[in-house]
Structures are given as C-alpha cells and as structure tokens.
C-alpha cells in the first residue's frame, strides 16, 4: 500500500497582516512552510479572512493588503463533546437545579430518613398529650419505638411502591427490611405486655388502608392521604392514655371504668375518657388542619378554593372551641389559640403568595416549621392548663 504525500496548505489559509507586498510574500512563504496540522486548526473566520486576502492579492500584486486581526478559537470542552455525542445544545451559565419532584423520587438517603419534617411533630406531640392527661406508663418505652418504626416502615413501603427502577428498588430493600423487622418485633412484644392495645386496630387499620391505597395509586401527596395519616397519628394521644389507665374503660374507652380515671375538664363535667376524647378530637383537628394549610403554602399556591376551605374549617373549629370554653369544657386559652390558628390559616398563605409574585422568593420551609413548633407548644400548654 502506498502512502500519498500530504498536500501543501492552500494560501487561502494564510493570514495577511502587513501593508507591503514583500512582507505579504514572506508571510505566505512562512505559512507554506508550516505543518498542515497547525494550518488546519485555524478557525473558519480566519479561513474566510485569508481567502478574501488571497483574492485581493491575486488581483493587485502591487497594492498593500489591509491589516486583519487574527481570530483565536478556543479548544473544545466537555460541553462540546456532549453536544457532538447527543445532539443537545450546550448549556450556557449555571446548570438548572433539580426540581422538587426529581429530588423526591431519588431513593438514596431518603429511604432511611423521611424528608417530611412536619411529620416529626405528629409523631411526638400526640403521645405527649396522652401523658399529660393520663400519666406515663413504662410500656411507652416499647410502644413508642414500635409506633415510630411503623411510620418509617410506611415511608419505605411508599418509596418502594412508587419506584419503577429495579436498581432504585434494590437501594430501598435494606431500610425496608430493617424497619419492617424492627416494627414487627417491637409490636409483638408490646402486644404481649399490653394485649388490650389490639382494640386500637379497629380505628387505625382503615386509616392505614386509605393511606396505602393512595400510595399505590401514586397519590401519596394527596389531601386524602395527608388527612388519613394525620388522623392516625392524632389517635396516639388516646392510645398512650389507654396505656396510662391500663386499658380501663372498656372498648375504646366507651364503657364504664372500674374506678375514677385521670383527666378532667375545667368545669368538672367531663372526666376520664370523655375528657380524653375531647382532647384527642382537638389534637386531630389541629393536625388535620395543618395538611391543607401547608399545601396552600407550598404545593397548592394560588389555589383559592383550597385556601377558602382551609380558612372555613379553622373558623368552624374556632367557633366550636369558643362555645365549649364558654360552657367551661375547654380552657379559654385554647379557644384563643384557635382564633390565632384561624388568622394564621388565611394571612400566612396570602403573604406567601404575595412574596412569590413580588420577589419570587417564598418563605423557606424551615421558617414555616419554626412557626408550627411554636403552635405545637402553645397547643400543649393551653390544652393541659
């Protein structure tokens, strides 16, 4: 096989930078002596400039060629390789950050630690309410880790159900097995110690079934799913009270207790389980009200129907609490708190929407979380005074 000799570079690639014919010929000869690789690396703009210069020099040898500024082409970078390989245009400026939906569907660390920070207050406050009214039982040392493990198991199962990638499902399997084993073992030990707790499966199982059905349909962020999980979490106030009284009071506290139970309303009309059920209802009303309220702040901004419904629900509960406080069945401080919660349910979303329209910088979720922590502490103090 014979190898042909590389052709000499065309004089169209020559850059004419001097004003006289002699130096122009000198630059032409120097360009001819250059290697083909150096000449071929010149830019298209330089080639067009050189061709124009060559045409002018061929028509008038004795006249001077105009001075031209050389054009330096940058070396191709990684973005150019991506553009040549995929056909996608180069990214200009900073890359776009991932959306919340893309972050939510990444199963890495979130398979172990849920990213719903508002859920932690629902996991802590209702059991504390039951302790304040009925007292603390040592069985809570078994029950509460089982309850928290149950929530973590639910979170892992929801992650696994909505993940379609086999590789991502494999990442979720380890925390799923750990949390499921943890919950099952602690729940079994708790039921052996306090078998009367099995009665609470009657109100809890339908709520869990609704939540799992919403996850299976891909609506784990729906209003129905949020209301079912918050209602189940609020029932933990009554469950821990049941542990404090050792199951006395019949099925779900609807029977007649064998002896007077702790807990009494301000006027003394409600004692034991009747007072505890009123406190549990107030707890459920508070946490269920936070579901549409938070949605109107983050995911359902500018949803006036949801905002009107949230404000109407808070107003209705505030009216009921004022009536109960006037009858002596609730503390006046708790009724005043519900007035504050009603104002918050309307003013805070409108302020959030105004910030989005004017500054495009809404309130951070951490700021809203601090406000809710203050409200939770106020709820506990006012309901227990």
Q: Where are the domains of the chain?
A: 11-64, 118-139+194-384
| Residue 67 burial class via C-beta count within 10 angstroms: exposed 0-12, middle 13-18, buried 19 and up | exposed
The predicted pLDDT at position 359 comes to: 81
Task: Give the model's pLDDT for residue 94.
Answer: 57
Average pLDDT, consecutive stretches of 10 residues, N- to C-terminus, the chain (385 residues):
48 46 42 40 41 41 47 51 55 54 50 74 93 94 94 86 80 89 95 95 94 86 92 96 93 88 92 95 96 91 94 97 95 96 94 88 83 92 88
Q: How many residues does the chain have?
A: 385
Task: Give the pLDDT confidence score for residue 139 in this predicted structure.
Answer: 95
Question: Looking at residue 74, what is its pLDDT?
Answer: 47
- Check residue 120 and give its pLDDT: 83
The pLDDT of residue 113 is: 78
- pLDDT of 169: 83
pTM of the predicted protein model: 0.70
């Amino acid at each position: 096989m014979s190898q042909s000799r590389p052709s000499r570079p065309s004089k169209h690639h020559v850059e004419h930078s001097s004003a006289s014919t002699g130096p122009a010929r000198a630059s032409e000869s120097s360009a001819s002596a250059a290697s083909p690789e150096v000449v071929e690396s010149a830019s298209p703009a330089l080639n067009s400039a050189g061709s124009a210069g060559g045409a002018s020099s061929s028509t008038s040898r004795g006249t001077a060629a105009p001075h031209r500024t050389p054009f330096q082409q940058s070396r191709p970078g990684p973005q150019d390789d991506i553009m040549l390989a995929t056909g996608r245009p180069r990214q200009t400026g900073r890359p776009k950050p991932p959306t919340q939906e893309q972050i939510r569907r990444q199963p890495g660390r979130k398979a172990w630690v849920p990213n719903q920070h508002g859920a932690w207050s629902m996991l802590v406050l209702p059991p504390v309410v039951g302790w304040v009214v009925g007292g603390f039982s040592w069985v809570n040392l078994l029950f509460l880790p089982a309850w928290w493990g149950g929530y973590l198991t639910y979170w892992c199962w929801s992650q696994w159900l909505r993940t379609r990638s086999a590789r991502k499902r494999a990442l979720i399997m380890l925390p799923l097995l750990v949390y499921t084993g943890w919950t099952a073992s602690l729940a079994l030990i708790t039921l052996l110690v306090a078998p009367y707790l099995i009665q609470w499966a009657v109100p809890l199982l339908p709520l869990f079934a609704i939540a799992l059905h919403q996850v299976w349909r891909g609506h784990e962020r729906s209003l129905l799913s949020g209301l079912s999980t918050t209602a189940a979490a609020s029932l933990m106030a009554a469950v821990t009270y049941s542990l404090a009284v050792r199951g006395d009071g019949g099925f779900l506290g609807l029977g007649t207790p064998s002896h007077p139970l702790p807990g009494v309303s301000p006027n003394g009309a409600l004692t034991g389980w009747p007072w505890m059920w009123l406190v549990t209802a107030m707890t459920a009303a508070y946490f269920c009200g936070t579901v549409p309220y938070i949605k109107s702040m983050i995911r359902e901004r500018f949803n006036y129907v949801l905002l009107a419904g949230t404000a109407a629900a808070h107003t209705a509960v505030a009216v009921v609490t004022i009536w109960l406080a006037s009858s002596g069945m609730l503390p006046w401080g708790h009724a005043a708190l519900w007035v504050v919660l009603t104002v918050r349910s309307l003013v805070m979303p409108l302020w959030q929407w105004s910030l989005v329209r004017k500054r495009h910088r809404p309130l951070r979720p951490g700021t809203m979380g601090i406000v809710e922590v203050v409200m939770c502490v106020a709820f506990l103090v006012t309901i227990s005074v």
